[in-house]
Amino acid sequence: MGSTSTKIKLRTSDQKVFEVEKAVAVQSQTIKYIYENGCPDSVIHVHSVSGDILSKILDYCKKHVNSAAGKEDISPEELYEWDANFVKVDQNTLFDLILAANCLKIESLLDLTCQTVANMIKGKRPEEIRTTFNIKNDYTIEAEEAVRRENKWAFDMLGGVGTMVIEELADDTMSKCVTNTKSRVCVIAANQIVMMRSISKLANKKSIDVYKQPQNPTTPRIKESVKQRNVGTGFIELFFHFKCKM
């Protein structure tokens, strides 16, 4: 049949053996090098990759080889969508794919997976980033404050503190979100006005003061209770999503 039907055997870290077409396997520069410089019939050990991950990677390589060779009738847009679905996996699998793509030297897969993680983290706050990458914060409180102040513009979600923003929210619990001053946000939710006392203190806050709009608009707003009421993180996320200084 020709060289396209040559098979290469790969053994993973968990002792699974995969037999794949040479054209698919040599998408990995590492496998290509080992194959071309070693004995063509022997099994290639990919000892840093597990069976599950290698299986996924081989799917990727097969799809891309077939599309490039014209074996599959797939447009660039469709391949792009296929790639987008390919990376819809949990974070651990994604990190595993990155490590494997790096070790196997599959450049396009490494680019794809790294870009996916980049897209996932680009809107995050520094605290969340530290969690994702298991990073210890080695700044002192003052030093971190100084760096934040220097880069203050990057923390303004809408690029301008103090601008009036009125948004119609789809969420059941919220109806409007309005900013009034630099440090306070007033959220009108159903019949309640939820007032943020101080945005800078909000970072770790899981609950907020709730002010109830009285029936009679001329009476002053009453604080619902002295105790603070817990609000789900959904609200805080939504709030951050709109406008705040972090």
Query: Is 124 an interacting residue with respect to other proteins (CB under 8 A)?
Result: yes
Choose the stretch contacting other proteins; rule: CB under 8 A; options: 3-11, 39-47, 74-82, 149-157: 149-157
Tokens at 50, concatenated: 């597990």
Place of tokens 């019939």: 41
- Binding to other proteins (CB under 8 A): which residues in 193-232? none
Structure tokens at 29: 């520069």
d(CA 230, CA 79): 46
Of 95 and 211, which has the nearer Cβ to other proteins? 95
- Binding mask 57-96 vs other proteins (x if CB under 8 A, - otherwise)? ----------------------------------xx--x-
Among 133, 171, 225, 232, binds other proteins (CB under 8 A): 133
Cβ contacts of 184 within 8 Å, gap of 6 or more: 195, 196, 197, 198, 199
The answer to whether 240 and 246 have CB atoms below 8 angstroms apart is: yes
Question: Which one of the spans 38-46, 147-155, 205-213, 228-236 is the region binding other proteins (CB under 8 A)?
Answer: 147-155
Pairing of strands 211-212, 207-208: unpaired
Provide the sign of the torsion angle of the four alpha carbons 71, 54, 79, 24, taken in this order: negative
Q: Is 163 in the site for other proteins (CB under 8 A)?
A: yes
Q: Which is nearer to other proteins, 36 or 138 (CB)?
A: 138
Tokens standing for residue 62: 């097969």
Q: Can you tell me whether residue 219 is helix, strand or coil?
A: coil
The binder of other proteins chosen from 154, 190, 203, 222 (CB under 8 A): 154
Residue 235 in contact with other proteins, rule: CB under 8 A = no
134 binds other proteins (CB under 8 A): yes
Q: Nearest approach, Cβ of 143 to other proteins (angstroms)?
A: 8
The window from 1-9, 46-54, 130-138, 221-229 that contacts other proteins (CB under 8 A) reads 130-138
Q: Which of 153, 200, 204, 219 binds other proteins (CB under 8 A)?
A: 153
d(CA 53, CA 49): 7
170 sits near other proteins (criterion: CB under 8 A) = no
Sign of CA dihedral 221, 222, 228, 229: negative
Alpha carbons 241 and 246: distance in angstroms, whole number: 11
Q: What are phi and psi of 230, to 5 degrees?
A: -75, 135
Interface with other proteins by CB under 8 A: which residues?
91-92, 95, 98-99, 102, 110, 114-115, 117-118, 120-126, 128-139, 144, 147-148, 150-151, 153-155, 157-160, 163, 241-242
